[in-house]
Structure 1
Amino acid sequence: MSDVNLPPLPPVEGALSGRNVVDVLDEQHREILGLLNHDMSGKAYDVLIATLARHLSAEEQYLYPAVRTAVPDGERIADRELAEDRELLKLMQDRSRLDELTAAVRRHVEADRGELFPLLMQMVPADDMIRLGNRVETAQEAAPTRPHLSTPVTPPWNKVVDPLVGVIDKLRDVATGRTTYTHNL
Structure 2
Amino acid sequence: MSAPLPPLPPAPAVDDNDVIPGGRNMVDILVDDHHQISALCDRLRESLADASAASAIAEVLVAMLSRHLSVEEQYLYPTARSVLRDGEHLAAQELAEDAEMLLTLKQLHGSAPDDPAYATLVATVSRQHRRHAMRASEEIFPRLRARCSENELIRLGNRVEIAHEAAPTRPHPATPVTPPVNKVLDPAVGVVDKVRDIIAGRTTWPEDL
Output the TM-score relative to the length of structure 1. 0.91
| Alignment partner of 1:79 out of 60, 76, 92 | 92
- CA separation in 2, counterparts of 1:76 and 1:44? 34
| Alignment partner of 1:126 out of 150, 168, 180 | 150
Does structure 1 residue 31 correspond to structure 2 residue 44? no
Q: Percent identity?
A: 47
| Alignment partner of 2:202 out of 170, 178, 185 | 178
Does structure 1 residue 17 correspond to structure 2 residue 41? no
Gaps spanning 5+ residues in structure 2: where?
A: 1-7, 12-18, 49-53, 109-117
| Alignment partner of 2:165 out of 106, 118, 141 | 141
| Alignment partner of 2:61 out of 37, 48, 66 | 48
| SS of structure 1 residue aligned to 2:21 | coil
How far 1:119 sits from its partner (Å)? 1.0
Moved over 3 A (4+): 11-14
**Per-residue deviation, residues 78-101 of structure 1 (Å, max 9, x unmatched):** 000111110110010112311111
- Paired AA for residue 22 in structure 2: S
Structure with larger Rg:
2
- CA separation in 2, counterparts of 1:15 and 1:74? 27
Output the TM-score relative to the length of structure 2. 0.81
Gaps spanning 5+ residues in structure 1: where?
A: 1-10
- CA separation in 2, counterparts of 1:139 and 1:83? 21
**Per-residue deviation, residues 54-99 of structure 1 (Å, max 9, x unmatched):** 0000000000000000011100000001111101100101123111
Q: How many residues align?
A: 175
How far 1:37 sits from its partner (Å)? 1.7
- Paired AA for residue 119 in structure 1: R
- Paired AA for residue 16 in structure 1: P
